[in-house]
Amino acid sequence: MEKILIFGHKNPDTDSIMSALIMEDLEKKMGSNVLACKLGNVNKETEYALKYFNVNEPITIDNLEEGQEVILVDHNEFAQSANGIEKAKILKVVDHHRICGFETSEPLFYIANPFGCTATILYDMYLINNFEISSTIAGLMLSAIISDTLLLKSPTTTPKDENAAKALAKIANVNLEKYGLAMLKAGTDLSSYTPEQLLTLDAKHIEIKNLKTIIAQVNTVDINDVMKIKSDIEKAMNNTINSEGLDLFILAITDIINNNSQIITLGNSSHIAEKAFNVKLEDNTAFLKGVVSRKKQILPVLIENA
Amino acid sequence: MEKILIFGHKNPDTDSIMSALIMEDLEKKMGSNVLACKLGNVNKETEYALKYFNVNEPITIDNLEEGQEVILVDHNEFAQSANGIEKAKILKVVDHHRICGFETSEPLFYIANPFGCTATILYDMYLINNFEISSTIAGLMLSAIISDTLLLKSPTTTPKDENAAKALAKIANVNLEKYGLAMLKAGTDLSSYTPEQLLTLDAKHIEIKNLKTIIAQVNTVDINDVMKIKSDIEKAMNNTINSEGLDLFILAITDIINNNSQIITLGNSSHIAEKAFNVKLEDNTAFLKGVVSRKKQILPVLIENA
């Protein structure tokens, strides 16, 4: 029997990688023949977490064959999924995003919760099924929650995420604050990336009222560090705008210590960002005080103002 | 605070009505300010069940105001939902259908399971939350399961539905077979309906590869009884085809005793039905042996062959 493939979104973040591995463990406990995969390279934050808990990266897949059975975690939009997803058989989805650009021809298992992290939903699924959570799986869950909630400081954080993180830190036998900050800092080491790579580390491709848009995000401990190469970043952004026919490209450079973001915004529809965030772009950039969450503080206001 | 409205699909069947009432009970137990509603008249089967368990019909609503908070049960497709659903704020969905023509701008709670009935998913939610199921709520759940699974005989029936039905019959203090058959039979009394009304009792509006389609279904204990008024039914079907610009209109007349269906098929795309069911329509009609489930045995093969 061919294995059911489990994967998160393109340009995988820590939640997408960990949730695939966690779901693999959960499904195996249920007796399914599954394989965790990924749709792109892991970032340095994820690399740090996997190394810390001594877990191998999932394998990378690209195209799906027609009829391939799959389980999606941490995404549902086909635009963010594997190539060929339209022809795959989607058995399950576990996600914490809005539902959009997704459809099936048959009933399926779908669980979404407006929690800060997919791993928090998976944590619930272990409890409901009375499955034991190993210290390794707890470490992966915890890493995903820390990543998606910026150590429980993002406005996407719910009490569910907080409670899960505290319980999981105990099972994984780590200090939540200390491990969390070390993991987030590992992700801010951008030194080895070209501007092009930096833009694809965590990039969401979305259509906002027919406008082809990318919203990319990088975490840093010092916004100025990234802004030093602003002109190189802009060149790379413009290349992508031209090659992909984008209307809007926003890069959010997020300060994980002080919880603010600097955006660089390019494309013919960049006026939408000015309206949405009530700022004036100067030299294509603006400072967004208190903004750290793409899902909660960037995407909805863009949709509202498009 | 304005109430959150809970409702099933247009042309409500027993699962849509009962699941709205059950979800209302569940949400109240969670402390929410909710109101069960319906998007059309209840059919005779539902009427029988509500009377049996001494429960009032939910109120009927039509248009939703912008920003109205809602919970959808037993459907997700906007085409089957309340008018104005695009501008409503969908907080939760509990459903057992494929996902299609559905999107939100924000994360939500969504639970779907490929069970035979929405009420079976709700039954699980009571168990997970450790909520007591009253004998009345058990009666409503049981009625929904009997209706959607044709007394556990439809191929949509899962072990989950069976186990739930057996447990619920005990709590509701009824004989599953005896009550089930009486309830289904109550639904086959079509004597008071005009052909027009008969077509809207349980009609699903769907787009099958851009073809505007209605698949209606009526239950009977004798197919010939319904076929006596075939020409009147066809006249009413053709009127709907013209007024709504349909490409395909299928009426399935389902024999709930012997578990077969007779279809009447009209519209420019009726050849799709011949290909899908591998039958030759004679005088617009064909007998489909063993076919009782629109969701499992009619819709997927139509999509595949369109």
Identify the CATH number of the domain in which residue B126 sits.
3.90.1640.10
The fraction of chain A above a pLDDT of 70, given in percent, is 100
> Do residues A65 and A34 share a domain?
yes
> Do residues B151 and B36 share a domain?
yes
**What ranges make up the beta strands (E) of chain A?**
4-7, 34-38, 59-60, 69-73, 89-95, 109-112, 203-208, 211-220, 248-255, 260-266, 285-288
Residues A54-99: tens digit of each pLDDT: 999 999 998 999 999 999 999 999 999 999 999 999 999 999 999 9
Confidence at residue A306, expressed as pLDDT on a 0 to 100 scale: 86
Residues A247-302: tens digit of each pLDDT: 999 999 999 989 999 999 999 999 999 999 999 999 999 999 999 999 889 998 99
Burial environment of residue A47 by CB neighbours within 10 A (0 to 12, 13 to 18, 19 or more): middle
**Global confidence as pTM:** 0.89
Backbone angles phi, psi at A147, to 5 degrees: -65, -50
Q: Is residue B190 part of a domain?
A: no
Given a contact cutoff of 8 angstroms between Cβ atoms, the answer to whether A174 and A204 are in contact is no
The last residue of a domain, from among B152, B185, B218: B185
> Do residues A159 and A218 share a domain?
no
Residues A216-251: tens digit of each pLDDT: 999 999 999 999 999 999 999 999 999 999 999 999
Contacts of B295 in chain A (CB under 8 A): 107
Given a contact cutoff of 8 angstroms between Cβ atoms, the answer to whether B48 and B79 are in contact is no
If you measure CA to CA, which chain B residue comes closest to A125?
A: B128
Residue type at A158?
Answer: T
Interface test with A, best of B110, B158, B213 (most A CBs within 10 A): B110
> Do residues B21 and B126 share a domain?
yes
Cβ of A104 within 8 Å of Cβ of B99? The answer is yes
The last residue of a domain, from among A185, A203, A231: A185
Backbone angles phi, psi at B272, to 5 degrees: -60, -40
Q: Is residue A204 part of a domain?
A: yes
Output the average pLDDT for chain A: 95
Structural domain boundaries, residue B219:
195-305
Buried (b) or exposed (e) across A160-176, using 16+ Cβ within 10 A?
Answer: bbbebbebbbebbebeb
Q: Is residue A190 part of a domain?
A: no
Contacts of A96 in chain B (CB under 8 A): 107
If you measure CA to CA, which chain A residue comes closest to B99?
A: A103
pLDDT tens sequence for chain B (306 residues): 689 999 999 989 999 999 999 999 999 999 999 999 999 999 999 999 999 999 999 999 989 999 999 999 999 999 999 999 999 999 999 999 999 999 998 899 999 999 999 999 999 999 999 999 999 999 999 999 999 999 999 999 999 999 999 999 999 999 999 999 999 999 998 888 999 999 998 898 888 888 999 999 999 999 999 999 999 999 999 999 999 999 999 999 999 989 999 999 999 999 999 999 999 999 999 999 999 999 889 998 999 898
Give the gap in angstroms from C-alpha B107 to the nearest C-alpha of chain A.
4
Of B163, B190, B168, whose CA–CA distance to B179 is shortest? B168
> Do residues A204 and A246 share a domain?
yes
Confidence at residue B1, expressed as pLDDT on a 0 to 100 scale: 60
Q: How many domains does chain B have?
A: 2
Round to whole Å and give the CA distance between B30 and B6: 14
B260-266/B285-288 β-pairing: antiparallel
Confidence at residue B201, expressed as pLDDT on a 0 to 100 scale: 87
Given a contact cutoff of 8 angstroms between Cβ atoms, the answer to whether A107 and A89 are in contact is no
DSSP assigned state of A64: P
The last residue of a domain, from among B153, B185, B217: B185
> Do residues B177 and B280 share a domain?
no
Cβ of B99 within 8 Å of Cβ of A98? The answer is no
Select the residue of B96, B98, B106 nearest A104 (Cβ to Cβ): B98
Confidence at residue A94, expressed as pLDDT on a 0 to 100 scale: 98
Confidence at residue A37, expressed as pLDDT on a 0 to 100 scale: 98
